[in-house]
Structure formats: structure tokens, C-alpha cells
Amino acid sequence: MKTVILLTGCINPNGMPFTQLTNTSERQKQYVDAIHYYINQTNIHIVFCENSNTDISPLFNNAHDRLEILTFHGNQNKQRGKGYGETEIIEYALHHSSFIHENSIIIKITGRLIINNIHQIINTLKYDFDFVTCLFHSDLKFAESRIFCGTTAFYKEFLKNKELMNDSEGIFFEHVLSSTVLESSLRFIPFTEEPLITGISGSTGEKYQISFPDKRLRIIYQCYAWMQLAKVYKVSPHRHLSIFDRITLIFNILKYKVLSKFV
């Protein structure tokens, strides 16, 4: 399967509710810096899709032919919030990108953010079946939206639930992402490499700071990821674990319980 990075963007939020970072020039610089980062740090195709009809393609005249820039006039339902707007971006990219196909693996990343270990994450996604990969909060009601991955089939499932989102009613992108993953019959695979994110939250203005984990912390995270998988399969009885996955799961849970005592 072909792997594609999808960077979602909104250069001019134009009064979007629940948005702290509103400076258009600052936002554009962050998007441009992130695009350059992914061009330089990966060798796969990159789609930047933006919904405020702001075309930054002239800034990439000499860009590699791995980059595709799409822009359209979105955010017509501001009362639903920026999560709904981002879903429209994903939908537009699926319909208009020449890089995204029926059998693509799509790594969706909030376009202003840097995933410092993107190369390692890409290398973990070597699957030839439909799947979804994300990070859940402990209660499984909220799934991380800054980065998640899956095949085109999953994104189509997710888009069917687009109309459920409404920030003003407290139903956010992350809630719908979580419920879609849990209801899907596609194979769920946790991030075996924890995404290391730097950047600034558009919603709160919070700076994401990271510290690169040592080998022991990486192992503990990987064991924790398997525990997330156990939770997902417990609340999704329509999914089935293979014998190999069951053995691996038990081994990692035991390893996590031992190693976590020494952190």
C-alpha cells in the first residue's frame, strides 16, 4: 500500500470559535515550516489541504514533486467548530488529491505540527490490510486528533459520522474519532512508536514540548500501547485477536507491569 502524509490546514480562521492562535502570518509560517520539514525528513508523498482559500503553492515553486497543495473555501459551518472544518478538509483531500487512492495508508497530521519521529512512525506502518492507528485517552472516549493513521477505508467510515460533530454542544472531533474507531470492524493497531510532537495548539495556544525518551521509557510506552489494544478489543467484541496477538498482548502487559515499577 502507498503511504501518504495528509497535512490539514486553515491559514485564516476568520473568527472560528475556540481558536486562540488567529494571526494569519504566524499560522502560515508554521504551515510552511512544517511542510519543509516533512519534505526533508521523509521520502513519501505529502498532501497539504487548506480550507480558507489561501494558496501558498507559489512559496514552493522548487518543491519536490512529492508535494501536492490543495485549497478551497470551507468553514461555512463555523457554529459547528474547527473540528467539523477539519473533517471537511479530509473529505476534500480524499475527493481531489491525485496522491490519495483507494488503497492508500494516510497519516493525518495537524499541519502546523512537527512529528519529530515521523520516519520511525512511517516504518511501523508496513501493512497490507485495512487498519486504523490512533492514541486513546484512558477511558477510550477521546482519541488524539493531532496525528492518526489508517487506510482510505477507515477515513470513509469516519466521514460518515461528520454530522455528529458540534463543538458548541461539546461533541468534538476527538469524540467522533474515538467512537468511529471503536465501532469499526477494521483492525486496530496502536502506535508502537509514541508520536513526539512539537508546535503550538491552535485551540489553546499551548506549546507542545517533548523530551526524547530513553530506551527504557520507549519499551514501557510500547507495552502501554498493547494495553490500549486490549481495552479496545474488550469494548469492541466484533473484533477478534489472533492467537499470536493474544500471546504478544499478554507478554507486553506483564512486561509493562514489571518495568513501570522502576520508572
* pLDDT on residue 256: 67
DSSP 187-220: EE---SS---EEEE-TTT-PEE------HHHHHH
CA atoms within 13 A on the CB side of 43: 2
pTM: 0.89
Which residue from 71, 99, 84, 105 is spatially nearest to 168, judged by alpha carbons? 84
Mean pLDDT of the residues in the chain:
87
Question: Where residue 67 falls among pLDDT bands split at 50, 70, 90?
Answer: very high
Minimum mean pLDDT range among 7-11, 79-83, 176-180, 253-257: 253-257
**Is the distance from CB of 71 to CB of 84 less than 8 angstroms?**
no
pLDDT value for 151: 97
The span from the CA of 257 to the CA of 263, in Å, is: 11
Where in the chain are the domains? 2-212, 213-263
pLDDT of residue 101: 94
- 2-212 belongs to CATH 3.20.20.70: no
pLDDT for 16-47, tens place per residue? Answer: 555 666 788 889 999 999 999 999 999 999 99
Residue-wise pLDDT for 196-229, tens only, equals 999 887 666 677 777 677 777 787 787 788 888 8
What pLDDT, on a 0 to 100 scale, did the predictor assign at position 237?
77
What CA–CA distances, in Å, run from 230 to 2, 44, 75, 205, 248? 28, 31, 37, 34, 11
78 pLDDT band, cuts 50/70/90, is confident
Strands 131-133 and 45-50: unpaired
Portion of the chain with pLDDT greater than 90, in percent: 54
**Whole-angstrom distance, CA of residue 51 vs CA of residue 76:** 10
Is-contact 7 48, C-beta < 8 A?
Answer: yes
Residue 207 C-alpha cell reads as: 506549546
Cα 27 → chain centroid: 19
- C-alpha dist (Å) from residue 6 to 61, 146, 152, 153, 239: 20, 11, 12, 15, 27
- Tens-digit pLDDT profile for residues 103-146: 999 999 999 999 999 999 999 998 889 999 999 988 899 999 99
- In this model, does residue 235 exceed pLDDT 90? no
